[in-house]
Chain A
Amino acid sequence: GQNIDQPTEMTATEGAIVQINCTYQTSGFNGLFWYQQHAGEAPTFLSYNVLDGLEEKGRFSSFLSRSKGYSYLLLKELQMKDSASYLCAVLDSNYQLIWGAGTKLIIKP
């Protein structure tokens, strides 16, 4: 079956760095997405990785290792507004998005 695992909840301090991991086992792979979802709102796109390596975009970076079925989202200089759920999703061989359950990130002052 298809499976995406990410931690349920993480806590970090304002100004710090946090890494949210995602491991996947899917039927085929056509890329991995990270989305941010604030409570009561729809998800917003953060990043897309299809090749191995690190993609940096401002305070957010996303890493992919296809051989290990592993990705992480790195958030630097955390701000209170970064408190949200972070969703990992893999595009499978049928170009369907398989969603992880999301990681709720709590930022403390």
Chain B
Amino acid sequence: GAVVSQHPSWVICKSGTSVKIECRSLDFQATTMFWYRQFPKQSLMLMATSNEGSKATYEQGVEKDKFLINHASLTLSTLTVTSAHPEDSSFYICSARDSREGLYEQYFGPGTRLTVT
């Protein structure tokens, strides 16, 4: 089956620093990748849709200058949380959609737990 990896699985950083999270599709090409955030006991919240070779599309209320997304290849997207603050502490999950026509299932990475101190 399709596998998506995410790195790191957890990270602790100090307030004001930046953190980069990588999302890779291991055995398929993904034109589109998605970044979600999930706070404890809450539903998934889509942050942005990342398209290979073009700018990401951010959801309303998500600061694009704070959450930098790069989708440089068909198998890699990165999310950089810049100048992180404690309120950015959350579970960040990426998903990838197979590029082949007619396939719309999203395959999820294992998630990255970010704690900002």
Cβ-based interface call for A33 (8 A)? yes
Nearest Cβ on chain A to B39's Cβ, whole angstroms: 12
Nearest Cβ on chain B to A34's Cβ, whole angstroms: 11
Nearest Cβ on chain A to B25's Cβ, whole angstroms: 14
User: B44 contacts which of A33, A43, A95 (Cβ < 8 Å)?
Assistant: A43
User: A43 contacts which of B46, B49, B108, B113 (Cβ < 8 Å)?
Assistant: B108
A99 touches B108 (CB 8 A): no
Interface string of B22-55 (1 = CB under 8 A from A): 0000000000001000000001101001000000
A44 touches B44 (CB 8 A): no
Cβ-based interface call for B87 (8 A)? no
Nearest Cβ on chain B to A71's Cβ, whole angstroms: 16
Cβ-based interface call for B110 (8 A)? yes
B43 touches A101 (CB 8 A): yes
B108 touches A42 (CB 8 A): yes
Bound-state Cα–Cα, A44 to B15, Å: 32
Residues of A within 8 A of B (CB-CB), count: 20
Bound-state Cα–Cα, A102 to B109, Å: 18
A87 touches B104 (CB 8 A): no
Cβ-based interface call for B65 (8 A)? no
Interface string of B69-109 (1 = CB under 8 A from A): 00000000000000000000001010000000000111111
* 17 residue pairs bridging A and B, Cβ less than 8 Å apart: A31-B104, A33-B105, A41-B110, A42-B109, A42-B110, A43-B44, A43-B93, A45-B105, A45-B106, A87-B43, A87-B44, A96-B49, A97-B46, A99-B44, A101-B43, A102-B43, A102-B44
Query: Which chain B residues have a beta carbon within 8 Å of chain A's beta carbons?
Result: 34, 43-44, 46, 49, 91, 93, 104-111, 113
> Given A45-B105, A87-B43, 14 more contacts at CB 8 Å?
A30-B104, A31-B104, A40-B91, A42-B93, A42-B108, A42-B111, A43-B44, A43-B93, A43-B108, A45-B107, A48-B105, A95-B104, A99-B43, A102-B43
